[in-house]
Amino acid sequence: MKKVYIETMGCQMNKSDTERMLGMLSHFGYEETKEPKQADLLMINTCSIRQLSEDKAFSAIGTWGKWKKDALAAGENLKNRTNIKIGFCGCVAQQKANEIFKRAPYVDFVLGTHKIYALPEIIKKINNDERVCECTETNATEDNLAKEYNIERVKGVNAWIPITEGCNNFCTYCIVPYTRGRERSRLPEIIIKEAQDALNAGFKEITLLGQNVDSYGKDLEDGTYRLAQLLKDLNKLEGKFRIRFVTSYPTDITDELIQTAVELDKVCEYFHIPMQSGSSAVLKAMNRRYDRETYAKIVEKVRKMVPDVTITSDFIAGFPGETEEQFTETLTAIDEFELDYSNVAAYSPREKTVAAKWVDKYIPEDIKDIRFQRLNDKVKENCLKSNLKYVGRDMEVLVESFYEHKGKMINSGKTRNFKTVHIPCEKDLTGEFVNVKISGAKTWYLKGEII
Ligand code: SAH
Ligand code: SF4
Ligand code: F3S
């Protein structure tokens, strides 16, 4: 067996692609190694959501390029290591294509996000010392090809299953529509099969993935098979397991979807609804299709209909032109809508996007950093507030990991509503559902005692 090492950056979409690529590679005689120095094939699956993520990708492969050069120079002495191959994949690859070779001439292949199923062909070519760039855009999903290969899922309790690829929203700050293309839904039967396979393999949670999961199915044959229907069909699969879905675009969440989520026993009380900014004027500039009031109504409805729901969000600090007052509206939104947790980021200009052209409105780095920090502090404060609500309650936890902390063994897992719970217990309960009484709350987790 040859060995492959894949470094995965970015979101779950990339992690899911990596699992698919490992599946294909195992078919062609490659096994995964966690040790890059032992690999015959080194691959990086890149993210370009912010400039920093893109820069990280290039600095990581610089070291690999050096290894390759040294191995070639050492020739016979290193025998099997004279033929290291390097692949550059993912969102930066899709966006930059052939340019990658200029910047990193030691790269053997560039593979974008649209054609990951071209990997077997690519491997054949690079083993014949060809150089390959496969970054053409497709308007189709690759479901037919997906059927041919296994997925080498990262061991754990949660299986991620993409249901849509791409995005049509073109928020003015975001590069995803350029790196992942137009929105396309995967076929229900393929998704259900992948879920069943994951359950057969022992996974206890299925998370459906998409940039905008609520638009699932719009582009399928008759357009009537939507997320709610998919959830119903997945809920019918046998056994005890949980279902989640991310990410929801605020205005696309339908009453039917919320109602379905309430009615189905396996679908969890968790909605990730990125708001991005608390200011209606900034939201308009971002090309988000809602204002503060509309977002407020959606959150209120979800909270009313779904008892104990956790609502999380994403926010950007320092979007071009954001005033101090508008930034403060983001802080008050987190409080007012009692957002349980939020991912936050400082605005990073991205090539091709509309907002990147508003150079004269860029917020100075130092101010952006301070806003980012203030946003983080607000998130922390609200997270603790949210966690404190659950002290004294009985909750069901799905254990995800078992480790030692300060001389004690801890089982760590999630409640249905996505709260992390640490349970002191000598026995490894990974993969089990346990009922606990919440005995304490910290900023990032709850403490639980088995009952
Ligand atoms: N489809 C999801 C978001 C996917 S990208 C949605 O619409 O909400 C994940 C997050 O990255 C976004 O929610 C946004 O907060 C952040 N992000 C995207 N582009 C960014 C940029 N240029 N600078 C900083 N953060 C960005
Ligand atoms: Fe990016 Fe907006 Fe699409 Fe989300 S909805 S992926 S933020 S363009
Ligand atoms: Fe994900 Fe980063 Fe691409 S967030 S879709 S890996 S740009």
Q: Is 309 in the pocket of ligand 3 (CB under 6 A)?
A: no
DSSP string covering 134-175: E----SS--HHHHTTS---PPSSSEEEEE-EES-S---TT--
159's tokens: 């299986």
At 80, the pLDDT band (50, 70, 90 cuts) reads: low
For the CA of 92, the nearest atom of ligand 3: 7
The string of DSSP codes covering 336-355 is HTT-SEEEEEE----TT-SG
Q: Is the pTM of this model over 0.85?
A: yes
| Whether the CB of 114 sits within 6 Å of ligand 3 | no
Q: How far apart are the first and last CA of the chain?
A: 47
Do 161 and 203 touch, CB atoms closer than 8 A? no
Assess whether pLDDT exceeds 70 at residue 79.
no
- Range scoring the smallest mean pLDDT among 60-64, 85-89, 200-204, 340-344: 60-64
Residue 149 CA to chain centroid, in angstroms? 22
Look at residue 221 in the predicted model and tell me its pLDDT: 86
Q: What is the pLDDT of residues 307-345, one digit of tens each?
A: 999 999 999 999 999 999 999 999 999 999 999 999 999
Does residue 14 have its Cβ closer than 6 Å to ligand 3?
A: yes
Give 383 Cα–ligand 1 centroid separation in angstroms.
Answer: 20
Q: Which atom of ligand 2 is nearest to the CA of 211?
A: 6
- Closest-CA residue, ligand 2 atom 5, reads 169
Tell me the CA–centroid distance for residue 37 and ligand 1, in Å. Answer: 34
- Shortest CA distance to 347 belongs to which of 287, 277, 296, 281? 277
Is-contact 332 291, C-beta < 8 A? no
Asked whether the predicted pLDDT for residue 210 surpasses 60, the reply is yes
Tokens of residue 355, six digits: 């907002």
Asked if 111 contacts 91 with a C-beta cutoff of 8 angstroms, the reply is no
Contact 14, 41 (CB under 8 A): no
Find the ligand nearest to 343 CA: 1
Mean pLDDT confidence for 212-221: 93
Distance 403 CA to ligand 3 centre (A): 30
- Paired tokens of 215: 């638009």
Q: Report the SS3 class of residue 387.
A: helix
Integer CA distances (angstroms), 285 to 181, 295, 320, in order: 22, 16, 9
Q: What are phi and psi of 127, to 5 degrees?
A: -70, -15
Q: Does the beta carbon of 276 lie inside 6 Å of ligand 1?
A: yes
Q: What is the mean pLDDT of residues 27-50?
A: 94
Nearby residues of 368 by Cβ (< 8 Å), 6 or more positions away:
317, 318, 346, 347
What's 379's DSSP letter? H
Q: Which ligand has the nearest atom to the CA of 47?
A: 3
The pLDDT value given to residue 51: 96
Q: How far is CA 23 from the centre of its chain?
A: 19
Put residue 78 in one of left, alpha, beta given phi > 0 → left and psi -120 to 50 → alpha. alpha
pLDDT of 81 above 80 = no
Confidence of residue 148 (pLDDT cuts 50, 70, 90): confident
Indicate the pLDDT class of residue 77, thresholds 50, 70 and 90: low
For the chain, give me the number of helices (H) and strands (E)? Answer: 14, 19
User: How confident is residue 7, by pLDDT bands cut at 50, 70 and 90?
Assistant: very high
- Asked whether 350 lines ligand 1 (CB < 6 A), one says yes
Q: Is the alpha carbon torsion for 248, 252, 256, 259 positive or negative?
A: positive
Q: Whose CA is nearest to atom 1 of ligand 2?
A: 174
For the chain, give the percent of residues with pLDDT over 70: 98
Q: Which atom of ligand 2 is nearest to the CA of 170?
A: 8
When pLDDT is averaged across residues 3-10 and rounded to a whole number, the result is 96
Nearest of 205, 278, 192 to residue 233 by alpha carbon: 192
Containing 334, the helix (H) or strand (E) segment is: helix 324-336
Residues 340-356 have pLDDT tens digits of 999 999 999 999 999 99
Structure tokens belonging to residue 319 = 């979007």
Distance, CA 49 to ligand 1 centroid (Å)? 7
* Residue having the nearest C-alpha atom to atom 10 of ligand 1: 314
- Tokens, residue 272: 């990730």
Q: Parallel, antiparallel, or unpaired: how do β-strands 109-111 and 41-46 relate? A: unpaired
Q: How far apart are CA 395 and CA 217, in angstroms?
A: 34
**Token representation of residue 89:** 């994949």
128 or 288, higher pLDDT:
288
Longest dimension (CA), the chain: 69
What letter would DSSP give residue 222? S
Mean pLDDT of 92-102: 96
Q: pLDDT of 270-287, one tens digit each? A: 999 999 999 999 999 999
From the list 308, 302, 296, the residue with the least C-alpha distance to 337 is 296
Could you tell me the distance, in angstroms and rounded to a whole number, from the CA of residue 374 to the centre of ligand 1? 18
Question: Does ligand 3 have an atom closer than 6 angstroms to the CB of 209?
Answer: no
Output the average pLDDT for the chain.
94
What is the distance between the alpha carbons of residues 393 and 390, in angstroms, rounded to a whole number? Answer: 5
| Three-class HEC string of 63-86 | HHHHHHHHHHHHHHHHHHHHHCEE
Lowest mean pLDDT among 15-29, 347-361, 367-381: 15-29
Q: Which ligand has its closest atom nearest to the C-alpha of 10?
A: 3
380-409 average pLDDT score: 97
Hey, how many other C-beta atoms are within 10 angstroms of the C-beta on 368?
20
